[in-house]
């Protein structure tokens, strides 16, 4: 959970401020392959690549991703797209992206998600609603910048202008942000490096364990806000 999700719940009347503590998720990924290795494993071309990783369901707006993909493809005939995931909207997404032919790879669910993130130049979230988007954390840990709609705690994972771009929830804004990254290798490298460093410091399993331990110590000592609220 992130600060924005907490604030949204408070605004909806769920609990009081002193009853809430924010604890980001923690995860560790296997060592990420190089970009070239990842693309070889997936059998995709060495070309500018945008990835969508997640459930293909209405709230994730894969239809918006399809519009972004068609826009980018019209600008640059070399851009490729990866779709990792499945869901009720997969058939319609396949139809929407059909005109792009082999420039789109549908990968299904992948256990080696670090391979998908490493193969991409940009990982995109097009959702209308999110909590704490794990796909963006995973991408950051692999050194891949994110482009995301400004929903839920996405803007806490992607620092706008530093580790990627946070945009309005429109295909036009997402396409512009992705195009800026695809067209600037140095910008991608700089944002990817910053994303990796930040994610490994904030969202690692070790960071989560430390946060949980601190919370339990506060509760045991009776000093924490949650302990005071419970009393």
Output the six-digit token pair for 155.
């803007």
Q: Which of 186, 183, 181, 51 is nearest to 125 (CA)?
A: 51
Does residue 149 lie in a domain region? yes
Q: Same domain, yes or no, for 105 and 58?
A: yes
Whether the per-residue pLDDT at 97 is higher than 70: the answer is yes
Q: What is the pLDDT of residue 73?
A: 97
Does residue 136 lie in a domain region? yes
Whether the per-residue pLDDT at 212 is higher than 80: the answer is no
Q: What is the pLDDT of residues 160-185, one digit of tens each?
A: 999 999 999 999 999 999 999 999 99
Burial of 35 (0-12, 13-18, 19+ CB in 10 A): middle
Burial of 152 (0-12, 13-18, 19+ CB in 10 A): buried
**pLDDT-derived band of residue 227, with 50, 70 and 90 as boundaries?**
very low
Q: Same domain, yes or no, for 226 and 129?
A: no
Q: Same domain, yes or no, for 184 and 209?
A: no
Rounded distance between C-alpha atoms, residue 4 and residue 154, angstroms: 9
Find out whether 141 and 133 touch, Cβ atoms under 8 Å: no
Relative to beta strand 49-53, strand 122-125 is parallel
Say what the pTM is: 0.84
Does residue 78 lie in a domain region? yes
Sign of CA dihedral 26, 160, 107, 182: negative
Find out whether 36 and 46 touch, Cβ atoms under 8 Å: yes
By residue count, the chain amounts to 231
Does residue 98 lie in a domain region? yes
The continuous run of DSSP H or E covering 38 comes out as: helix 35-42
Q: Same domain, yes or no, for 140 and 209?
A: no
Q: Same domain, yes or no, for 35 and 94?
A: yes
Q: Same domain, yes or no, for 174 and 64?
A: yes
Which has more pLDDT, 27 or 114? 114
**pLDDT-derived band of residue 63, with 50, 70 and 90 as boundaries?**
very high
Q: Same domain, yes or no, for 43 and 131?
A: yes
**pLDDT-derived band of residue 4, with 50, 70 and 90 as boundaries?**
low
Output the six-digit token pair for 107.
């990968």
**pLDDT-derived band of residue 223, with 50, 70 and 90 as boundaries?**
low
Does residue 82 lie in a domain region? yes
Q: Same domain, yes or no, for 160 and 104?
A: yes
Q: Same domain, yes or no, for 114 and 80?
A: yes
Q: Same domain, yes or no, for 46 and 102?
A: yes
**pLDDT-derived band of residue 211, with 50, 70 and 90 as boundaries?**
low
- Count of the separate structural domains present in the chain: 2
Q: What is the pLDDT of residues 136-154, one digit of tens each?
A: 999 999 999 999 999 999 9
For residue 26, how many other CB atoms are within 10 A of its CB? Answer: 17
* Helices 90-97, 62-75: crossing angle, 10 deg rounding: 10
Q: Same domain, yes or no, for 69 and 44?
A: yes
Q: Which of 38-42, 44-48, 147-151, 210-214 has the lowest mean pLDDT?
A: 210-214
The domain of 93 spans: 31-203
Q: Same domain, yes or no, for 156 and 43?
A: yes
Does residue 1 lie in a domain region? no
């Amino acid at each position: 959970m992130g600060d924005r999700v907490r604030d949204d719940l408070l605004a909806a009347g769920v609990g009081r401020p002193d009853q809430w503590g924010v604890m980001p998720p923690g995860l560790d990924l296997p060592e990420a392959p190089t970009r070239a290795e990842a693309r070889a494993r997936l059998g995709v071309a060495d070309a500018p690549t945008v990835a969508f990783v997640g459930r293909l369901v209405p709230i994730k707006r894969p239809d918006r991703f399809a519009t972004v993909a068609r826009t980018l493809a019209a600008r640059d005939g070399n851009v490729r797209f990866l779709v990792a995931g499945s869901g009720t909207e997969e058939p319609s997404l396949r139809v929407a992206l059909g005109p792009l032919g082999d420039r789109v790879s549908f990968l299904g669910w992948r256990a080696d998600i670090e391979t998908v993130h490493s193969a991409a130049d940009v990982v995109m979230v097009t959702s209308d609603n999110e909590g704490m988007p794990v796909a963006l954390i995973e991408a950051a840990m692999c050194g891949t910048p994110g482009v995301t709609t400004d929903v839920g705690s996405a803007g806490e994972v992607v620092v706008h202008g530093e580790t990627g771009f946070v945009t309005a929830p429109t295909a036009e804004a997402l396409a512009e942000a992705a195009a800026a990254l695809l067209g600037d290798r140095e910008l991608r490298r700089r944002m990817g490096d910053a994303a990796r460093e930040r994610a490994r410091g904030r969202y690692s399993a070790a960071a989560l364990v430390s946060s949980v331990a601190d919370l339990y110590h506060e509760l045991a000592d009776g000093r924490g806000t949650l302990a005071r609220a419970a009393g």
